[in-house]
């Protein structure tokens, strides 16, 4: 009998030691606002759903971290709301929550101060905590914009932050207001803003991109063609009430009508997407090999995606050599874990084992720096 109290104490002690992580309160939103105003702190809200995979990953891997907990518990009043239950739907509507998880930083008056979306590794989440209380927060930038700051660098930063956090309508308004005061849209700082907020087909900004695609490409690379292609495709499918992608042959006349000088560049881009959706990878690989040979890309993410597609679906030595070139170019532009992992696996698939291992080790270093799972990459080293 004397052992029972000891066991209880032992278990209590273990529970206390294990109870680490962000301390989330489960109060009504009105009570949180009162507490925030009294304490002069921001409320950090994890807006989640029960079915959201990234939400569960945050709960398992990031929120329990002691360093994360120390910062958030000291700096904020932390709360969780299921966006599909209780006060969740009204909060989702109030703060334009359109993806999960969304992180809201709200002041005691209920004003949105900052916002972020998606799975965020520990280093980025700690940086987010710093941004939320800085002059880089959405709230601070809004005050700066409303105060009259119209420098292109600031407008670009503000609009990009809005777009990243699913505030596209507000981002479009900010950029449109800025451009209305500009006499020369061909300036690089202005074309960059137009790319970030091009509008839809028929809008003044989209018409400008179609007419000046070559100029914009010289300034910012080939992403302009992807922006134009998506606008054309979206408008065609909406106008013709198409629920799925049509063939490249069907949409070609529409491309010719709307952007006749760009058809040779836009149509194969569309064809690649169509073939992928149809799971016709033979046609996709042939189209992609021809397109990226004729029109080399300088978009590191695009290059990484196409290189990985070739890794997964091609055994042709010539095609794999092309994929290696694309992956290497992606790494040259901006090395990060995904493209280094792609390059390592391409080396592995083509039997270049020393290169595969050295690239895999570098990929793992990048993954560790961002708290990413690199277990698959480790298999190359085994």
Active site (catalytic) residues? 52, 55
Q: Which two tokens stand for residue 241?
A: 């009430």
The count of C-alpha atoms lying within 13 angstroms of the C-alpha of 195, restricted to the half-sphere facing its C-beta, is: 21
* 300-313 helix and 281-294 helix, angle to the nearest 10 degrees: 140
Is residue 363 within 8 Å of 344, Cβ to Cβ?
yes
* 152-164 helix and 188-196 helix, angle to the nearest 10 degrees: 10
Q: Which two tokens stand for residue 34?
A: 């009162």
CB atoms within 10 A of CB 361: 15
Is residue 63 within 8 Å of 22, Cβ to Cβ?
yes
3-state secondary structure of 109: coil
Is residue 346 within 8 Å of 327, Cβ to Cβ?
yes
The count of C-alpha atoms lying within 13 angstroms of the C-alpha of 296, restricted to the half-sphere facing its C-beta, is: 9
3-state secondary structure of 334: coil
How many angstroms separate the CA atoms of 124 and 367, rounded? 13
Say which residue the tokens 């137009």 belong to.
194
Is residue 346 within 8 Å of 320, Cβ to Cβ?
yes
For residue 382, with 0-12 CB atoms within 10 Å meaning exposed, 13-18 middle and 19 or more buried, which class applies? exposed
How many angstroms separate the CA atoms of 294 and 303, rounded? 14
């Amino acid at each position: 009998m004397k052992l029972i109290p000891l066991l209880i104490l032992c278990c209590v002690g273990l529970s206390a030691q294990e109870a680490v992580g962000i301390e989330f309160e489960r109060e009504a939103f009105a009570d949180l606002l009162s507490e925030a105003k009294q304490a002069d702190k921001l409320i950090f809200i994890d807006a989640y759903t029960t079915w959201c995979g990234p939400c569960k990953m945050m709960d398992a891997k990031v929120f329990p971290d002691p360093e994360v907990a120390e910062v958030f518990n000291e700096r904020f009043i932390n709360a969780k709301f299921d966006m599909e239950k209780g006060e969740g739907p009204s909060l989702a509507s109030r703060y334009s929550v359109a993806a999960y998880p969304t992180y809201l930083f709200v002041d005691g008056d209920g004003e949105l101060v900052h916002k972020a979306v998606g799975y965020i590794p520990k280093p980025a989440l700690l940086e987010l905590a710093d941004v939320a209380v800085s002059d880089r927060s959405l709230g601070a930038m809004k005050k700066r914009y409303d105060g009259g700051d119209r420098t292109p660098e600031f407008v670009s930063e503000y609009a990009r932050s809005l777009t990243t956090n699913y505030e596209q309508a507000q981002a479009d308004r900010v950029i449109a207001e800025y451009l209305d005061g500009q006499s020369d849209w061909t300036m690089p700082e202005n074309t960059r803003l137009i790319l970030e907020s091009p509008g839809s087909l028929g809008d003044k900004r989209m018409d400008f991109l179609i007419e000046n695609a070559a100029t914009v490409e010289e300034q910012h690379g080939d992403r302009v063609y992807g922006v134009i292609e998506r606008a054309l495709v979206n408008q065609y499918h909406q106008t013709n009430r198409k629920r799925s992608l049509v063939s490249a042959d069907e949409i070609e006349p529409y491309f010719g009508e709307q952007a006749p000088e760009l058809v040779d560049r836009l149509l194969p881009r569309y064809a690649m997407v169509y073939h992928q959706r149809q799971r016709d990878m033979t046609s996709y690989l042939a189209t992609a090999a021809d397109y990226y040979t004729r029109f080399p890309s300088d978009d590191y993410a695009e290059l990484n995606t196409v290189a990985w597609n070739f890794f997964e679906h091609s055994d042709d030595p010539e095609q794999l050599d092309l994929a290696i070139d694309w992956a290497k170019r992606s790494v040259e532009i901006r090395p990060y874990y995904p493209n280094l992992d792609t390059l390592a696996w391409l080396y592995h698939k083509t039997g270049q084992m020393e290169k595969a291992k050295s690239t895999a080790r570098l990929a793992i270093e990048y993954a560790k720096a961002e708290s990413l799972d690199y277990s698959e990459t480790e298999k190359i080293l085994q």
